[in-house]
Amino acid sequence: MILIGIGANLPSPRFGQPRGTCDAAVEALAALDGVRVATRSRWFESAPVPISDQPWYVNGVCAVETRLSPDRLLAVLHGIEEDFGRVR
C-alpha cells in the first residue's frame, strides 16, 4: 500500500475550485494502468503556513496499490502534476 498526498489551493481553469482539482487528481490516479485507488481520505481545509494572503489549502491522502516501480510511479505522478498545470 502506498500513500499519496493530494492538495491544491488555487482555482484551475480546467477543474474549478481546489476541491475540484483534488477530485480530478484522484480520478487521474484511478485511470492509470497498473494503479488501483484502494481508498482515500476526506478533504481537509487548512490555512497556509506561514500565515499569508494565499488561499486556504484543500488536502487529502489516497491509498493506492500498484505494480509500478517507485521511480516509475513518481514519474507518472509528476506527469499528472504537469498535465494539471503545476509550476515547480
The domains of the chain, with CATH numbers, are 2-83 (3.30.70.560)
Its pTM stands at 0.90
What is the chain's pLDDT, residue by residue, as a tens digit (88 residues)? 999 999 999 999 999 999 999 999 999 999 999 999 999 999 999 999 999 999 999 999 999 999 999 999 999 999 999 999 888 7
Structure confidence at residue 88 (pLDDT): 77
In the beta sheet, which residues pair with residue 39?
63
Structure confidence at residue 54 (pLDDT): 93
